[in-house]
Chains A and B, each alone.
Chain A
Amino acid sequence: MLTYLAKRLAALLPTLLIASFIVFIFIHLIPGDPIYVLLGDQATPEQVEALRREMGLDQPILVQYALWLGRVVQGDFGTSIFFDAPVLSVILDGAETSVLLASITMVWIVVFGVPIGIISATRQGTWVDQFFSGGAMFFASVPTFWLGLYLILVFAAGLGWMPSSGYPSIFEEGGLANLRYLVLPSLALAAPNAALIVRLTRASMLDVAREDYVRTALAKGISPNRVVLKHVFRNALLAVVSAFGFTFVALVSEAVVTETVFSLPGIGRLVVQSILRRDYPVIQGVMLVIVMLYLCINLLVDLAYRWLDPRVRLT
């Protein structure tokens, strides 16, 4: 296991280097002098001179990249123009909201997506299956922001069951009850992703159901429910688990929109606001954090895969 982990980490390194290079070059591709892109128009000559030296702008681009990477590794992601604070701390300020939102969303996705997929697959071709499959395709076609606005209209403005926007920290007044601010956003965010998981679970269940060992199990007289649970689902789960890296990326994408709709103080809204404020160092920092998270999650998915599938574990 440890050698495998080491191997995987080594394979990750080139991807991480290329991805970070893309994030690095982003600042240089924005029209204008990178110095002013990073410092804003109000920069003093002293600041400009200091940053020019720090970035090594008179050096070849790869040297500049190495210098930048060196600073990033030490946790220095640059300085936000708008907040006049380290980018990393600006991102961490939004982390609570985003992490909680993503976690609650993941709970919805697993609780709704996987069981509905199983039910659909075991009732293939019946009206139950058609209802759920059709519903899944419908929700996969709904823009998150539209669903969010709709939920606000019905459950916040109309029925008044839930707050419509904002999110006070659970560490402030209100405590865990503040989580109710995340109910509607997480539902809006979960819907399209749960829909994809329904489709995926259904498809991989049906794939596995064709395997010889399923027929053997049924022929042996094991009850169909047990076969579905022990043989089909266990194996179908592999495909679902390996899709979670992809789900994470989709989630981040849609969280940008969802946080904007519900005015949540998270990282997604930070990105949108930073674009409008031309606060490019923050955008760069968020990209870097997201890509690293994605690679970590994919690594975890691989490890979970080995744990779930003994066949892979042995090789």
Chain B
Amino acid sequence: MRSTLVFWLKPFLARRISLFGLCVLAVIVLAALFAPWIAPYDPLSYDPIARLSPPGPEHLFGTDHYGRDTFSRVVYGARLALMIGLGVVGVALTFGVPIGIVSALFPRVGLVLMRGVDVLMAFPALLLALGLIVILGRGIENAILAVGVVYLTTTVRIVYGVSLKLREEVFVEAAVSLGAGALRIIFRHILPNLVSPLLVQASFVFAFAQLQAASLDFLGLGAPPEIPSWGNALSESRIYITRAPWLLIFPGMMIVLTAFSLNLVGDALRDRLDPRFRDTFASGKKG
């Protein structure tokens, strides 16, 4: 147990900046969990007297044009960010993993499915998401679904690629000759070997989901306007940025920090798990 912990932590300890990413993520998770205790104000309550007041002891990050406390809204925004991230990763994995595995194990079905995935990849991510929003309607769940479908395609590609390689492995061949069925092959031999690449993929999808969801919010087609998401905060305060730049800086910085940290973590995990990178890691800096 201890050795596995060391195994996972090593890439983070080797590069300080990845450790920083991990810490930022921990803070965001804590903020999301304990938002009601951390936020000094109700993120939805109006205070017309204090509208557009700059950062200070009363309001740490200032207030917006309704006099709502930006710090409290940013803290509550962490909840939505986590929800979007988990939701999108969930959608991408729940549909991506089965489609990828089935395509790899049953080439005839795979030919059709993978062609479909290729076609979906021809649509730009945001355009595809917008098209789905038009069909499904606006809302958090629909935003998750729409962005999830976008990252479904990349997930299928990865699962398909790894499964194809695994199918040719000797241990799978041995299992087949011992009479193992398709389900046993999938659950005993394919899925366990997919965990590492999927973990890396999940952290990147989580990061990109933040950016896509924020874009949808900004365009007014994501979470409903009353929800204090970081994207909504930026969208609403857009016309006040010259008078109140803090409205631009704090929620935006949170999106950047979240995505940046997730990318750092994803990179560190990949260095740990991708055998090609692991070699470079072991043999020092020069390739």
Contact = CB atoms under 8 A, between A and B. Distances in A.
Interface stretch (B5-13, B168-176, B210-218): B210-218
A176 interface: no
Contact of A125 (B118, B263, B285): B285
Contacts of A219: none
B44 interface: no
Interface residues of B, number: 47
Contacts of A141: 207, 211, 256, 259-260, 262-263
Interface of A: 14-15, 18-19, 22, 26, 29-31, 124-125, 134, 137-138, 140-146, 149-150, 152-153, 157, 206-207, 209-210, 249-250, 252-254, 256-257, 260, 271-272, 275-276, 280, 283, 286-287, 290-291, 294-295
Interface stretch (B70-78, B91-99, B129-137, B191-199): B129-137
Contact of A283 (B116, B134, B252): B134
Contact of B127 (A19, A146, A287): A287
Given A124-B285, A125-B285, A143 B214 contact: yes
Contacts of A144: 215
A138 B241 contact: no
A145 B119 contact: no
Contacts of A142: 256, 259
B267 to A, nearest CB: 7
Given A19-B122, A253-B127, A256-B126, A146 B248 contact: yes
B260 A146 contact: no
Contact of A137 (B241, B252, B267): B267
Contacts of B245: 153
Contact of B123 (A31, A257, A276, A287): A287
Contacts of B252: 143, 146, 149-150
22 contacts: A15-B118, A18-B116, A18-B119, A22-B120, A31-B137, A124-B285, A125-B286, A138-B256, A141-B211, A143-B255, A145-B218, A146-B234, A149-B248, A153-B245, A206-B280, A209-B287, A249-B125, A256-B127, A256-B219, A257-B218, A271-B130, A287-B127
Given A145-B218, A253-B127, A275 B115 contact: no
